[in-house]
Amino acid sequence: MKFVSTPLILLGMLLGASNSAYADNPLPISPLLKNESGNSDEWRVSASPYVWASGISGKVGQFGQPPARLNSSFSDIVSELDLAFMGAVEARYKRFSVVGDLMYSQLSGGGNTQYGLLSRKVDIKSKSFSGFLGAGYTVLESDRGHLDVIGGGRLWRASTTIALKGGVIGDRSRSDSATWIDAVAGLRGQYALSEHWYLTGWGVVGAGQAKLDWDATAAIGYQFKSNLSAVLGYRALGVNYNRNGFVYNVVQQGPIVGLAYQF
């Protein structure tokens, strides 16, 4: 977590010094980058679809079996990917904000069995969903950015279905799944470097039905228009859930790229 908490600390130091450092020679900041939380009487909403080129590592155990170690690169995941959706949304009013983040993926794989007696083919389908909804309050702000304290809940759902086809015991399937909610809290901020470039990041940690749940991101953005920008960074997310024979102790991490549209 140190590699993300450090940028957030630096972000706070920059915000604290920005009022005096730029008082004599301010840079023009566009409406999208400039923080207006303290004087705006209207809600400002931004939507951010993104792509996360993450690999995954850890331990997964289902169907009451001992957990198996998992270590898949992004290219391994893409080869088995059926469907994926990722997006975030934020609504701000003065110092208050509401933040949401959704991730959904569906993977499938399979092949022929070695001898084809009990079954000729096995198909495996895995689905995972993670959704965060929380609220924030700006504790540090300037004309160049803001630093918020945020807190909320993250909903997880993971499921796997194994289907056997052909052979003596073919045409059978079995599914195992788990759904849980964790409470997380942390910091989220944004700081404008110039008229077009800005830094953004967040870090949250918590627990609940899972033993540990955390998410951290550091990114740099470039604004093309007054209401549109692109973001490039690195994200890491981890969860440790172990209940009723269902083990999901994984870490996902990798580059993230997306767009941010404000309306």
pLDDT of residue 180: 97
Closest C-alpha among 188, 238, 236 to residue 212:
238
Q: Which residues contact 66 (CB under 8 A, 6 or more apart)?
A: none
pLDDT of residue 87: 95
Higher pLDDT, 212 or 110: 212
Residue 6: pLDDT over 60: no
pLDDT of residue 11: 47
pLDDT of residue 46: 94
Q: Express each pLDDT in 126-170 by its tens digit.
A: 889 999 999 999 999 998 999 999 999 999 999 888 766 555 555
Residue range 192-199: mean pLDDT, rounded: 94
State CA 233 to chain mean position distance: 12
The pLDDT mean for the chain works out to: 80
If one counts the domains in the chain, the total is: 1
Token pair, residue 3, equals 């590699």
pLDDT of residue 181: 97
Amino acid at 219: A
Cα distance between the two ends of the chain: 33
pLDDT of residue 263: 86
pLDDT of residue 241: 95
For every residue of 182-235, DSSP letters joined together read: EEEEEEEEEEESSSSEEEEEEEEEEEESSSEEEEEEEEEEEEEETTEEEEEEEE
pLDDT of residue 190: 94
3-state secondary structure of 260: strand
For residue 63, give the CATH number of its domain: 2.40.128
Which whole-number Å values give the CA distances from 129 to 107, 150, 157, in the listed order? 12, 21, 5
Residue 236: pLDDT over 80: yes
The top-scoring range by mean pLDDT among 32-36, 109-113, 143-147 is 143-147
Residue range 45-51: mean pLDDT, rounded: 94
Where does residue 170 rank: exposed (0-12), middle (13-18), buried (19+ CB within 10 A)?
Answer: middle
* Domain range for 179: 2-262
Token pair, residue 108, equals 């499938």
CA distance 116 to 119: 5
pLDDT of residue 164: 62
Q: Report the range of poorest mean pLDDT among 16-25, 71-80, 249-258.
A: 16-25
CA distance 231 to 240: 28
CA distance 137 to 242: 33
Token pair, residue 142, equals 């300037």
CA distance 167 to 117: 5
